[in-house]
Structure 1
Amino acid sequence: MLDDLDRRLLRQLQADPSLTAAELGARAGVPPLKASRRLGRLQELGILQGQHAVIDWRALGYAVAVSLRVTLDKAEPRAFDTFLAAARKLTHVTEIQTFLGRVDVRLNVIARDMAHYQQIYREEILQLPHMADLEALMTVATLHTDESLPL
């Protein structure tokens, strides 16, 4: 599906997403127009889905990160849909993942401090519908994070 040129362009883009098509082309060894066309093709194929800003929430005063593992009440037919719709509305939830197995959903929650987290937990998290079980795991340290792919 991907050829060597596609991989070179994507590797360069992963290394520095701020590069222009001309700069990516120069680093990948192809003319700017060819690089631009290839990047457009990768977007059309849905491989390259755009760029986004990465904001360090700690720099904005958020010091607490908690991962909540939620098991839903499976006796309720619309439990997943209703729960996910409500969870999406919570401003301090930074990520929602669904799973197969004992745990159905994982929510990542950020807060300024423990008092703020307690407030979010009591006023927002515990109000979410159809929860049968809830386990909180507090992040102590993030040792490695890498979204780049081995291209």
Structure 2
Amino acid sequence: MQVDDVDRRILRQMLAAPDAARAELAERAGVTAASLWRRIERLREGGVIRGEEAVIDWRALGWAVEVSLRFTLEKAHPRAFDEFLEAARAVPEVIEIQTFLGLTDVRLNVIARDMAHYQEIYRARILTLPHIAEMDALMLISTLKDSEALPL
């Protein structure tokens, strides 16, 4: 899909003020409300805008611990990867799953209310995931940059 400078302006304004009313977005992007609506619809149909969502800060809801777990999986079992992912998706405290090429096969981000809760999740849900060959844990200390903004 072809994206022009006006589309980029609209996208920048949507990222800068995601809760702004459409009339305000149109004004900020320098287009009419009708033009904004048509362009947003075209960007949705073209797959550039996949959706608009509420971003909820899980920390504000009392989840204080985040751990990134890196896994290397057993390669002998033909369905090891699929079975691991299926089991990991079923763990409610897993908020992100990423797969990689290289030494690490899968990375899970896990949240917990506190360290005791994390220990419970780790023992009951993480260690029971199938086909784990190796695992490494990284505890999040601070987030220095957390942005999905694009250089538009």
Extract unaligned runs of 5+ from structure 2.
none
Match status 1:62 vs 2:84: no
Partners in 2 of 1:29 and 1:65 — Cα distance? 41
Q: Report the counterpart of residue 28 of structure 1 in structure 2.
A: 29
Compute the displacement of 1:49 (Å): 0.8
Range with bigger deviation, 120-129 or 25-34 = 25-34
Extract unaligned runs of 5+ from structure 1.
none
Partners in 2 of 1:78 and 1:5 — Cα distance? 47
Partners in 2 of 1:12 and 1:3 — Cα distance? 14
Compute the displacement of 1:29 (Å): 1.1
Partners in 1 of 2:79 and 2:21 — Cα distance? 46
Contact preservation (8 Å) 1:22, 1:36:
no
Identity of aligned residues (%): 62
Contact preservation (8 Å) 1:79, 1:129:
yes
Partners in 2 of 1:68 and 1:148 — Cα distance? 25
3-state SS in 1 of match to 2:67: strand
Q: Report the counterpart of residue 102 of structure 2 in structure 1.
A: 101
CA RMSD of aligned residues (A): 0.8
3-state SS in 2 of match to 1:124: helix
Match status 1:16 vs 2:9: no
Compute the displacement of 1:137 (Å): 0.5
TM-score (norm 2): 0.97
1:95-134 paired onto structure 2 within 5 Å = 95-134=96-135
Q: Report the counterpart of residue 44 of structure 1 in structure 2.
A: 45
Q: Write the deviation string for residues 7-66 of structure 1: whole angstroms up to 9, x where unpaired.
A: 000000000111233221111111101110000000001100111111111111111110
Which AA in structure 2 matches 1:144? K
Partners in 2 of 1:127 and 1:5 — Cα distance? 51
Match status 1:79 vs 2:80: yes
Partners in 2 of 1:132 and 1:30 — Cα distance? 55
Partners in 2 of 1:112 and 1:150 — Cα distance? 34
Contact preservation (8 Å) 1:22, 1:33:
no
Partners in 1 of 2:36 and 2:8 — Cα distance? 12
Q: Write the deviation string for residues 95-150 of structure 1: whole angstroms up to 9, x where unpaired.
A: 00000001000000000111110000000001111110011100011111111000
TM-score (norm 1): 0.97
